[in-house]
Amino acid sequence: MNTKQKAMRTGMVFIALLIIGGLVLMYKGNDALVLATEKKEGILTAEQVKMSFDSVSGRLIKEAVKEGDFVKKGDVIMELDSTDTDLSIAKLKTQIAQMEAQIASTSGTQGINFMKADTDESQSYRGIDQQQAALQSASVTLKNAQIDYNRKASLVEAGAIAQSQLDDAEMTLNVARANVEQQKQLLSKLTAATNGSGTDTIAQERQAAANMANDVEALRQQKAALEVQLKELEVAKERLTLRAPEDGKILKVLAKEGEMISPSTPVVLLESNRSYYDIYVSEKQAAGLSEGMEITGTTVAGEKQVTGTVRLLTQAPGFADLKQSREKGQSDLSAFQVRIYIDKQDGILPGMTIGVKDSEFTKR
């Protein structure tokens, strides 16, 4: 057999092996997903948080962390300049103080007006009482003057007294009558004032005082609106300080002091303490799993047991679906993705490979 024939035979054998191998792979469906289903291993991945300032912007004046730092929840990460916000807060506080003074002043004036109306009414009734007493006194004086005049008239007829004394008594009687008429007129005026325009005036005074309650309420509503604005500014000021949302490690600082920061722009990348790994299981194994179930994995390096909780159980896309094609006349839809979040454990670091043994599924 010459060299050419040997080469042709070797080539044919190689081609035959390739064809047979391809047919075997097609029959078994050994794509990446199937292999992952068989091995059930995943790389431990730490969740990352892109931190940004919420709805506020400004110049970065403080960078409190550097890459590699470990932080606790609530630790200060960065601060923006709060000068403008501080001035706005001070201005609003001054306006609120002025509004409180106006409310106090208007309320005080309202109280004084009510007191004035009460005083005017009281004085009106007191004046009537006094005038009635004056009329009664004048009536008594008139009665006495009439008695004195009658007595002296009798004495003049008897010649006991002079005519001049009777004239004096008559004058006194006339003065007493005039005084009674005058007191009656004064009482009539006071009574008319109390029952007429005077009463209307007092009622108007009370109504004006009552209407001031509307002014007070309007001022209070304005104050409430200012207080809402103040709270909004205080919230905005609080947002100028970026704090760690959870414990973790600073992976990357994306902004430097002096830079202008826009709202919702990531400035820090935080690696959280929440870690997970993904494995792929068959349809039969997935039937025994549920979200919230505990499952134990083993690290490839060191074979440490790692307890975790299933947080996600969903159908995994098959290799044929990813290629937008079909193999063996059907799509590979028999695999399920399982995401397992682990409990924090010393010596278990992101990047490690964790596998789950088949016994974890058979014991359920």
pLDDT tier for residue 7 given thresholds of 50, 70 and 90: low
The whole-number pLDDT of residue 355 equals 92
The whole-number pLDDT of residue 49 equals 94
Element at 63 (helix H, strand E): strand 58-63
The whole-number pLDDT of residue 331 equals 46
Percentage of residues of the chain with pLDDT beyond 70: 80
The whole-number pLDDT of residue 9 equals 72
- Rounded Cα distance between 53 and 262, Å, is 8
Question: What number of helices (H) and strands (E) belong to the chain?
Answer: 8, 13
Output 134 or 33, whichever has higher pLDDT.
134
The whole-number pLDDT of residue 329 equals 42
The DSSP code sequence of 79-138 is EE--HHHHHHHHHHHHHHHHHHHHHHHHHHHHHHHHHHHHHHHHHHHHHHHHHHHHHHHH
Q: For 260-296, what is each residue's pLDDT tens digit?
A: 999 999 999 999 989 999 999 888 888 888 899 999 9
Q: For 82-135, what is each residue's pLDDT tens digit?
A: 999 999 999 999 999 999 999 998 888 887 877 777 776 666 667 677 778 888
The whole-number pLDDT of residue 43 equals 93
N- to C-terminal Cα separation, the chain: 63
Among the ranges given (87-96, 187-196, 201-210, 349-358), the one the predictor scored with the smallest mean pLDDT: 187-196
| Token couple for 30 | 């050994």
pLDDT tier for residue 6 given thresholds of 50, 70 and 90: low
Q: Strand pairing partners for 38? A: none
The whole-number pLDDT of residue 102 equals 92
Percentage of residues of the chain with pLDDT beyond 90: 42
- Rounded Cα distance between 177 and 183, Å, is 10
| Contacts (Cβ under 8 Å, ≥6 apart) of 97 | none
The whole-number pLDDT of residue 75 equals 96
Amino acid at 85: T
| Contacts (Cβ under 8 Å, ≥6 apart) of 52 | 242, 263, 264, 265, 266, 267
DSSP symbol at 257: T
Please tell me the total number of residues recorded for the chain in this structure: 364
| Contacts (Cβ under 8 Å, ≥6 apart) of 74 | 243, 244
Output 38 or 322, whichever has higher pLDDT.
38
Average pLDDT over residues 297-308: 90
| Contacts (Cβ under 8 Å, ≥6 apart) of 129 | none
Helix (H/G/I), strand (E/B), else coil: 329: coil
Q: For 136-153, what is each residue's pLDDT tens digit?
A: 888 888 888 898 888 888
The whole-number pLDDT of residue 361 equals 74
Full set of structural domains in the chain with CATH: 29-81+247-362 (2.40.50.100), 86-236 (1.10.287)
- Rounded Cα distance between 102 and 98, Å, is 6
The DSSP code sequence of 5-23 is HHHHHHHHHHHHHHHHHHH
Residue 29: pLDDT above 60?
A: no
Beta carbons of 281 and 40 less than 8 angstroms apart: yes
The whole-number pLDDT of residue 34 equals 52
pTM: 0.58
Cβ neighbours of 54 (radius 10 Å): 13
Distances (CA, A) of 50 to 72, 95, 127, 280: 16, 39, 83, 28
59-73 in b/e burial notation, b at 16+ Cβ within 10 A? ebeebebeeeeebee
pLDDT tier for residue 173 given thresholds of 50, 70 and 90: confident
Residue 214: pLDDT above 70?
A: yes
Q: Which of 35-39, 233-237, 325-329, 334-338 has the highest mean pLDDT?
A: 233-237
